[in-house]
Amino acid sequence: MPDWLMREASAKLDLTSWPVFYELAITAQVTISNLVMQLRRLDLIYMHDGDKTIYRRRDDFTGQKTLF
């Protein structure tokens, strides 16, 4: 899974939805675990340990808001 492909997909898809993850994994021909790790490594999603909820950023998890 090339980085550019994952970044392009993240701009077009709702990466906070598990059904979208499974569709993307099938399209990319990878396991769901591999897909999640790749997206986490690229900082395209955030998942707190032990929680299955997917966030776009760590700030969304902590409740931090941006000023701009």
Give me the residue spans of the domains in the chain: 3-58
Q: What is the pLDDT of residue 31?
A: 94
User: Phi/psi at 46 (nearest 5 deg)?
Assistant: -135, 135
Residue 36's nearest CA partner among 60, 24, 57, 27 is 24
- Whether the full predicted model's pTM is greater than 0.85, yes or no, is no
Structure confidence by residue, pLDDT tens digits, 7-59: 888 788 888 888 998 998 898 899 998 988 888 888 888 887 777 888 877 77
